[in-house]
Amino acid sequence: MQYISTYKSPLGNILLAADEIGLTGLWFYGQKYFAHNLDPVHEEKDLPVFEIAGKWLDIYFAGQKPDFMPPVHLPGTPFQVSVWKLLQQIPYGQTTTYGELARKIAGEKGLAHMSAQAVGGAVGHNPISIIVPCHRVVGSDGSLTGYAGGVDKKKYLLCLELLAAGSLT
């Protein structure tokens, strides 16, 4: 069974979803793939995981780096999960490219090459935006390509982190 809650962010309302294990979804209302993995049968309910995620988001949107992680449950294919785990390793206030993620996945799997486009597909289907930081992945030229929540939101999130990390003046 999945449960839902709404978080009011500076970028608009966010739908949170969770099961018994942890957070399973965090989507901006109206984004691409909105509620993609949400069970058709779910209910709105206050859960401790929503309180923890809300505190994390409050700290994050206040321009600070949260020092804890809400429990997450990332249901997906083994490939998707491997990409989403790499996303969680991108340091706060920093970015990486789809190509670099592809090279890391290829190295983990002992392959000579991995498609950056395949990695991009998995990044785009990340069900837990912001907390699993897919917004930190940019094009090979540093361009702000693709973000299911919209490039304007991606830019806002990156600027928020860069300001908090002291990387912008």
Domain spans, the chain = 2-61, 78-164
Pairing of strands 12-18, 23-28: antiparallel
**Low-confidence winner among 17-26, 52-61, 79-88, 158-167 (lowest mean pLDDT):** 158-167
- Per-residue pLDDT averaged across 80-105, rounded? 96
Closest CA to 17 of 33, 4, 29: 4
Report pLDDT for 167: 56
Sort residue 33 into left (φ over 0), alpha (ψ -120 to 50) or beta. Answer: left
Contact between residue 90 and residue 136 where contact means Cβ atoms under 8 Å apart: yes
* CATH architecture of residue range(s) 78-164: Orthogonal Bundle (1.10)
Give the C-alpha separation, 143 to 7, whole Å.
Answer: 29
40: its two tokens: 């058709």
- Dump pLDDT digits (tens) for 114-130: 999 999 999 999 999 99
Give the C-alpha separation, 19 to 97, whole Å.
Answer: 31
Strands, E, within the chain: which ranges? Answer: 2-9, 12-18, 23-28, 42-44, 96-97, 137-138
- Dump pLDDT digits (tens) for 105-163: 999 989 899 999 999 999 999 999 999 999 999 988 888 887 888 899 999 999 999 88
Average pLDDT, the chain: 93
Task: Report residue 169's pLDDT band, with 50, 70 and 90 as the boundaries.
Answer: very low
Give the C-alpha separation, 138 to 81, whole Å.
Answer: 19
- Catalytic positions are 134
The class (CATH top level) of 2-61 is: alpha beta
